Amino acid sequence: MTVRFSIFTLFPDMFAGPFGESIIRRAVENGKVQIDIHDIRIWTHDRHRTADDRPYGGGAGMVLMAPPIVEGVESVLAGKPARVLITSAGGRTFDQEMAQELAAEDDLVLICGHYEGIDARVTTLLDAEEVSIGNYVLTGGELPAMVIVDSVTRLLPGVIDDASIAEESHQDGLVEYPHYTRPAEYRGLAVPPVLLSGHHAEVAKWRLEQSIERTRTRVQTSK
């Protein structure tokens, strides 16, 4: 099964680098994902290809207009059902649980805002969900869309080693334990001896303790 991501943006060229390298590139080449980047300006209605306008009620900045986005998404989906996400600093906070949820979908639409954001009617008309990647404000939704595509793609069967996913941060509510590789000592810092002991049960116990401690001291939770 191939998961299709349809991304709507004013800046399609931004995606070439992150999607053209490493694991995501291989996932595309192996048919695990299809990533279609759509320039919102294709569905504009005037010769200047205007996709934004001043906000009703006044205020700073420009707002992305509803018609090009709504018509673009409708035209690409052509009646096929899909989960539609709008990147928004004020949306539901994206997390590993949501990444897993999205990895079970066939068709995902990601809409990238810019400037002051997107006309609110797009959310209603496309029955979309607003998603934030964290409590800070970026210049546009392109980086959040890349984050979402990346985190969902690596969860798809066959994209990376299943064992890597099982032990990862946030997969079971804990963050991962620390990793070490050669050399065994570097600038006076030695690898914890238990990791060199060859004693699998002791290693597992040490890793679990480290995960619990790191989760306790580093993870802020709203739950």
CB of 138 to ligand SAM, least distance (A): 4
User: Any contact of residue 88 with ligand SAM (CB under 6 A)?
Assistant: yes
Task: Look up residue 88 and give its amino acid.
Answer: S
Farthest CA pair distance, the chain: 70
125 binds ligand SAM (CB under 6 A): no
Site string for ligand SAM, 95-124 (x = CB under 6 A): -----------------xxx-xxx------
Using CB under 6 A as the binding rule, the residues of this chain from 67 to 86 that contact ligand SAM are none
210, two tokens: 């480290």
Rounded to the nearest whole angstrom, what is the least distance from the CB of residue 64 to ligand SAM in the complex?
A: 8
Q: Output the DSSP codes for 165-202.
A: HHTSTTSSSSPPPP---S-SEETTEEPPGGGGS--HHH
Nearer to ligand SAM, 87 or 151 (CB): 87
Judged by CB under 6 A, does residue 93 bind ligand SAM? no
Cα–Cα distance, 141 to 85 (Å, whole number): 11
Q: Tell me: does residue 60 bind ligand SAM (CB under 6 A).
A: no
Minimum Å distance from CB 93 to ligand SAM?
9
The Cα angle at residue 192 between residues 190 and 195, in degrees rounded to 5: 125
* 171-210 as b/e: b if 16+ CB within 10 A: beebbbbeeeeeeeeeeeeebeeebeeeeeeebeebbeeb
> Residue from 37, 73, 109, 133 that binds ligand SAM (CB under 6 A)?
133
The dihedral through the CA atoms of 74, 77, 82, 85 has a sign that is negative
- Measured from the CB atom, is 63 or 155 closer to ligand SAM? 63
Site for ligand SAM in 150-209 (CB under 6 A): none
Among 139, 193, 196, 205, binds ligand SAM (CB under 6 A): 139
Q: Does 140 bind ligand SAM (CB under 6 A)?
A: yes
CA contacts within 13 A on the Cβ side of 107: 9
Q: Which residue is nearest to ligand SAM (CB)?
A: 113
Q: Would you tell me which residues interact with ligand SAM (CB under 6 A)? A: 87-90, 112-114, 116-118, 132-134, 136-141, 144
